[in-house]
Amino acid sequence: MQALAVFRSLRNPVFAQLYAAHAVSLLGDALTWVALALLAFELVGEGAGVVLGMALTLRVTAFVIFSPLGGALADRINRKTVMVVADLARVAVIGLMFFVTEPWQVYVLIFLLSMGTAFFTPAFQASIPQVTGPKDYPQAIALSGATTELFGVVGPAIAGALAVLFGVRPLFWIHAAAFLISALLIMTLATRLYVDKPDGKHSTWADIKLGTFRLWSDQPVRYALLLELVAAISGAWILVNTVVQVRGQLEYGEAAFGWVMAVFGIGATLAALALGALDKRLPRTTFILIGAALTTVAIAPANMVALAPLMMLWFVAGIGQNWVNLPALTLIADRIPEALQGRVYGAHFAWSHLWWVFSYPLAGWLGSSLPESSFLWGGLIGLGLLAVVYLGFRPR
């Protein structure tokens, strides 16, 4: 029953409506990434992996470039306006995916789609503590995180069923409808999401710099951000190299790979629910340290185990990933004044995704160079970083 504590935040009707908007768009996201994989295969056949890899790279690049600007806007104007405009822009972009005939068109549209997400996400993240208040925002953030992970598990299955019924390209229009519903739900929120601006007027560039400065100058927040780099190492290894381990080293089929990744998502989902129930039992920085250690230690023996133990390790790794990422978001709400939270969430979204820009290529290179020991090396790299961060940057 303690795990159900996260649902208390839904008693707040404004947050419940904001949460519903986010949940609808998350379902649309799950449809799009499955549809994109199938569309890439339709366009280039066995070269689909190259198209998807480039699309993911452009996605993260857009996040890194534009989310600080999105965070600055979220502290300047009505956050409802930022989210609604971002949703409506994404309606137009994702609708155009139906007509794609060339890979370069995929790249352009995914970059534009990710720009919209880079503006939406900091405004959404900053709005959660604003509408729920100090008592309920930890549970609200945990519920949002659990929903993200849950759709990561069940979304592809829903997308696959819809693809069978309607075909691949109509999934993009379904996602466009999801963004439109999200925009309408946010537009009709019974509140205005403005923030006070006691720090005076700044240029946009000054706001972006201020968000990054506050992110890095607060000791616990900086410590959490650096531990997110540790988690990005293990997360990248899991996302890039699990298929090689399951299909290549263990010689199982696609279904086994799907189950392994589903268990990883289930671990992350349950971890988010547990985090909401255990809030304030331990300091947030302790949760983040435990999560970084769990996800790093879990991947180290992965090359040496059979399928069932691998699934157990990935369940633990999923717990660790979420116990790093969600408390880091809550820590910002704890320690950053409300008037600055949009800027800091925007800076955090950029930096935390920058870690993946470094981690993905490293995981791919070691995975291809040392397929029989890549997870061991990933675990050692992660443990080394964990030691450096703990010894050099933990709050005093």
Say which CATH number the domain at 65 has: 1.20.1250.20
On whether both 180 and 265 belong to a single domain, the answer is: no
The rounded distance, in Å, linking the Cα atoms of 186 and 169 is 27
The most confident of the ranges 68-72, 240-244, 245-249 is: 68-72
Angle, helices 219-243 vs 307-335, to 10°: value is 150
Q: How high does pLDDT run on average in the chain?
A: 86
Residues 47 and 106 in one domain: yes
Residue 368 lies in a domain: yes
Dihedral sign from CA coordinates of 300, 306, 312, 318: positive
**How far is residue 211's CA from residue 66's CA, in Å, rounded to a whole number?**
13
| pLDDT at position 1 over 50 | no
Q: Are residues 124 and 85 in the same domain?
A: yes
Which residues share a beta bridge with 279? Answer: 282
In a domain, 196, yes or no: no
Q: What is the dihedral of CA 6, 117, 357, 293, to 10 degrees?
A: 0
* Other CB atoms within 10 Å distance of the CB of residue 103: 18
Q: Same structural domain for residues 138 and 224?
A: no
Flag whether 203 is in a domain.
no
Q: Is residue 318 part of a domain?
A: yes
> What are the tens digits of pLDDT across the range 169-186?
888 999 899 999 999 999
More confident site: 134 or 91: 91
Mean predicted confidence (pLDDT) in 1-30:
81
Q: Where are the alpha helices (DSSP H) in the chain?
A: 13-44, 48-74, 79-96, 103-166, 170-187, 204-217, 219-243, 254-277, 284-299, 307-335, 341-369, 374-393
The pLDDT score that the predictor gives to residue 254 is 67
Residue 98: is it exposed, middle or buried by C-beta count within 10 angstroms (0-12/13-18/19+)?
middle
Mark whether 8 and 149 lie in a shared domain: yes
What is the tally of structural domains in the chain?
2
The pLDDT of residue 196 is 65
Residue 205, in any domain of the structure:
no
Query: In this structure, are 282 and 342 located in the same domain?
Result: yes
Determine the pLDDT at residue 202.
63
Last residue within a domain, chosen from 131, 155, 189: 189
41: in domain: yes
**pLDDT for res 132:** 87
In sequence order, what are the beta bridge partners of 282? 279
Using pLDDT thresholds of 50, 70 and 90, give the confidence band for residue 214. very high
pLDDT of residue 46: 63
Using CA atoms, how far apart are residues 302 and 307, in angstroms rounded to an integer?
A: 9
Residue 197 domain-assigned (yes or no):
no
| Confidence band of 281 (pLDDT split at 50, 70, 90) | confident
Least confident of 165-174, 192-201, 375-384: 192-201
Domain boundary residue, one of 153, 174, 189: 189
Which of the listed residues 174, 189, 204 is the one where a domain comes to its end? 189
**Residue 97 sits in the same domain as residue 171:** yes
Domain that includes residue 110, residue range = 1-189
Q: Are residues 249 and 170 in the same domain?
A: no
Mean pLDDT of 41-50: 73
Which of 106-110, 208-212, 241-245, 361-365 tops mean pLDDT?
106-110
Do 233 and 348 share a structural domain?
Answer: yes
307 vs 53, residue with greater confidence: 307
pLDDT at 83: 94
The answer on 330 and 245 residing in a single domain is: yes
Give 136-177 pLDDT, tens digit per residue.
888 888 888 878 877 877 777 777 778 878 888 888 999 899
User: Does 237 map to a domain?
Assistant: yes
Check whether residue 182 and residue 145 sit in a common domain: yes
CB 333 within 8 Å of CB 128:
yes
Q: Are residues 283 and 223 in the same domain?
A: yes
